[in-house]
């Protein structure tokens, strides 16, 4: 598919085998809830985009996100050292996104944030299907991490769903891929290949609900010689189609609706995550978290991303169950008004 938005101004909806070449949101026939056509300013204000790259291993956990919220450009990066419990984290908020750059091509282009001597950069390369994270911070921290969906072959989750009365969301997700590169920081120097790090990746954009929430779960690792990845959510991307899935050696397996049971006031306490079709039965125990709270009137966020360990089972239909035993991963509890 060349472009997500068709000639009639409507998106292609559904799950796709590959990403569109361009998320041409400016061609969308954007209407008010009462059906009135909206102009370029409204299209710019309501369009939001974000990209996330996560790193998972027994020795190091990391995450970096960039978001274009029209009125605000947002970025964060963190590193967590499980053995010591120490953590490095930085957050950036740039009015009107000044100092940021966002490509609308999920597989080809650059998303970047610059602030002083700090740079967060996510580059996607179409020919190699490679995703590359590059971070340089003014405290000397540097991250160079990358993975490819081509070797070994991997089937990303790509879908577009209708959202609320007048929107849509395109989401593209990957988990369960090995990660290469290096990290240098006050937590130590790490070769990501040597420590057997895995990665996950999220590229999402569209006209999202003006006020929304979601829970999300992701893991990446190896179980009995098999590469395993997981992507589950509740609250977004569930209208007509669902992003819920897991991967076994790069093969995508769809999952039904998911229930997250947890204590919102104590997010490090255990979570229970189960799917309606019985393919997922997991328990998550938190080890640390990254959180942000913003309440700026037109924009607000209460964001918690917790990293910890999963135990339980994945039960693909007609196959042997995959036993998950203390595998590192992430969950989120997020409220957003934008």
Domains in the chain: boundaries:
14-337
What is the model's pLDDT at position 127? 85
HSE at residue 294, side-chain half, CA atoms within 13 A, is 20
Statement: the pTM of the whole predicted model exceeds 0.85: yes
Token representation of residue 257: 């609706």
What is the model's pLDDT at position 24? 98
SS3 34: coil
pLDDT in tens, the chain (338 residues): 899 999 999 999 999 999 999 999 999 999 999 999 999 999 999 999 999 999 999 999 999 999 999 999 999 999 999 999 999 999 999 999 999 999 999 999 999 999 999 999 999 998 889 999 999 999 999 999 999 998 788 999 999 999 999 999 999 999 999 999 999 999 999 999 999 999 999 999 999 999 999 999 999 999 999 999 999 999 999 999 999 999 999 999 999 999 999 999 999 999 999 999 999 999 999 999 999 888 888 889 999 999 999 999 999 999 999 999 999 999 999 999 98
Q: How far apart are CA 14 and CA 173, in angstroms?
A: 14
What is the model's pLDDT at position 162? 97
What is the model's pLDDT at position 148? 95
What is the model's pLDDT at position 297? 81
**Sign of the alpha-carbon torsion through 19, 25, 27, 31:** positive
Q: How far apart are CA 133 and CA 136, in angstroms?
A: 10
What is the model's pLDDT at position 288? 92
What is the model's pLDDT at position 160? 98
Token representation of residue 47: 């369009």
SS3 content of the chain, % helix, strand, coil (to 5): 5, 60, 40
Q: Which residues contact 295 (CB under 8 A, 6 or more apart)?
A: none
CATH number of the 14-337 domain: 2.40.370.10
What is the model's pLDDT at position 295? 87
Q: How far apart are CA 164 and CA 208, in angstroms?
A: 8
What is the model's pLDDT at position 87? 96
């Amino acid at each position: 598919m060349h472009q997500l938005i068709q000639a009639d101004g409507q998106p292609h909806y559904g799950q796709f085998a590959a990403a569109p070449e361009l998320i041409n949101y400016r061609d969308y026939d954007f209407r008010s809830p009462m059906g009135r056509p909206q102009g370029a300013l409204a299209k710019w204000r309501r369009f939001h985009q974000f990209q996330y790259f996560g790193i998972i291993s027994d020795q190091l956990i990391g995450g970096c996100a960039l978001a274009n919220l029209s009125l605000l450009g947002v970025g964060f990066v963190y590193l967590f050292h499980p053995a010591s419990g120490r953590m490095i984290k930085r957050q950036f908020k740039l009015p009107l996104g000044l100092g940021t750059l966002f490509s609308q091509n999920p597989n080809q282009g650059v998303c970047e944030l610059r602030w002083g001597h700090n740079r967060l950069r996510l580059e996607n390369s179409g020919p190699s299907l490679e995703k590359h994270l590059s971070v340089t911070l003014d405290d000397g921290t540097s991250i160079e991490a990358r993975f490819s969906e081509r070797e070994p072959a991997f089937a990303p989750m790509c879908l577009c769903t209708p959202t609320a009365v007048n929107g849509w969301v395109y989401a593209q997700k990957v988990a369960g891929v090995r990660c290469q590169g290096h990290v240098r920081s006050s937590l130590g120097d790490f070769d990501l290949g040597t420590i057997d790090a895995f990665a996950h990746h999220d590229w999402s954009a569209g006209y999202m609900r003006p006020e929304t929430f979601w829970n999300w779960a992701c893991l990446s690792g190896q179980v009995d010689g098999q590469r395993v990845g997981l992507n589950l959510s509740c609250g977004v991307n569930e209208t007509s189609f669902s992003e819920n899935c897991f991967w076994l050696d790069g093969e995508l397996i769809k999952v039904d609706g998911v229930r997250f049971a947890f204590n919102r006031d104590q997010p490090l306490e255990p979570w229970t995550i189960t799917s309606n079709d019985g393919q997922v039965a997991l328990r998550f125990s938190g080890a640390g978290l990254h959180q942000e709270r913003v309440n700026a009137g037109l924009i607000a966020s209460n964001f918690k991303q917790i990293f910890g360990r999963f135990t339980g089972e994945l039960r693909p239909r007609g196959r042997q169950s995959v036993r998950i035993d203390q595998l590192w991963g992430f969950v989120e509890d997020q409220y957003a008004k934008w």
